[in-house]
Amino acid sequence: MILRLRKPTWRVRHLLWLGILILLAWGLRTIPLQAIWQAIQGLSLPAVMTLILVNIGLFLMFSSRWWLILRAQGYPVPYLELVGYRLAGFSMSYFTPGPQFGGEPLQVYLTRKHHNLPEGVAVAAVTLDKLLELLVNFTFLVTGIAITVQNGLLGDLAFGQVLGMALALLAVPSGYLVALWAGRQPFSYLSARLPRLTAKPVLRAINDGEVQLSRFLRQRPGMILAALVLSLVIWAGMILEYWLMLHFLGLPLSLAQTVSALTAARLAFLAPTPGGLGALEASQVFAIQALGYSPVLGISATLLIRARDLAIGGLGLWWLGILTRGPSAAVPVPVKARD
């Protein structure tokens, strides 16, 4: 019985890595490696330092929404500690197969381990943070796809069909938020009807988290709005960082062109491969070629993105090792009156 369950898993793995190799081969098939090296060598030290500083600032901002949600719940966890937990969570998501998910349970675990947060509070904060992130991310993708199709960068694809697919993505987090605001608990409902697939502790955590989420959405709409504003600021920073990177590589793109190329990169990260491996390379070659520039610049941009993400991911793995060796919190973080 065990062998029968494992056999399809290995087949899926083989197909997955075969797909990665095909995408990598497609992205590199006509690109001279010497030209790529020359493009990267053309980056000046001030340009590299600017990109590093912008990325440090951006990563520090990524935890702002999570920090705000916890604070609104009455649990003022120190901001830089949340940055460290987010760093560890990023590493977990980046180096494991899947569309940039997987680090969220780790974030829940770390806040409970080091601050003794109630289970429902920890689950609700991380879940709401991720939902708002997905909502804004998919809104950007819808906008980016609309701009890309209108500019004719996707060939003869029908605008309505592509936009419909993008809106379907957006409907998932927005529909879930609406259900929670209405007092529903979708995951608790589904999990309770799949008792063989859901352990009782997991079911309890899901239920507690959704109860907290539902209450928070109805009682603190102002904080939700503030978190969405923070998300928009973060996305503006991401667009700026991507534009700067391409600018330093010698690509004078307009705002619309930058959004189109960045949309291709973000869609690649939805691929079920670690860090969008293969899909990211192919997406940037396609996008840069569609904009009328050399594919060498697309691969050069990909290498810079990879260098950034691997540096952050490696640092996150190191920090995760430190966090998991540390002792658990003896007392819970002090609960303050909600703002």
The two tokens of residue 2 are 């065990």
Query: Angle formed by the axes of helices 159-181 and 200-219, to 10°?
Result: 90
Report d(CA 285, CA 17) in Å as an integer.
20
Report d(CA 216, CA 73) in Å as an integer.
8
Tens-digit pLDDT profile for residues 61-81: 999 999 999 998 889 999 999
Spatial contact of 333 and 76, defined as CB atoms under 8 Å apart: yes
Give how far Cα 137 sits from Cα of 131, 155, 210, 235, Å: 10, 24, 22, 8
pTM value is: 0.79
Report d(CA 323, CA 331) in Å as an integer.
17
Tens-digit pLDDT profile for residues 130-185: 888 888 888 888 888 888 877 666 555 555 666 676 677 777 777 878 877 877 77
pLDDT higher than 50, residue 5? no
Mean of pLDDT over the chain:
78
pLDDT at residue 87 in the model: 93
Residue type, 58: L
Report d(CA 134, CA 105) in Å as an integer.
16
pLDDT higher than 60, residue 225? yes
Residues 308-330 have a mean pLDDT of 80
Spatial contact of 272 and 98, defined as CB atoms under 8 Å apart: yes
pLDDT at residue 3 in the model: 39
Cβ neighbours of residue 185 closer than 8 Å, sequence gap 6 or more: 207, 210, 211, 214
Tell which residue, 58, 290, 36, 32, has the closest CA to residue 152.
Answer: 290
Return the exposure string of 262-282: e unless at least 16 CB atoms fall within 10 Å of the residue's CB, then b.
Answer: bbbbbbbbbbebbbbbbbbbb
Tokens 């090296």 map to which residue?
A: 37
Residues 191-207 have a mean pLDDT of 63
Report d(CA 259, CA 276) in Å as an integer.
19
pLDDT higher than 70, residue 218? yes
Tell which residue, 79, 95, 47, has the closest CA to residue 245.
Answer: 47
Is the model more confident about 171 or about 55? 55
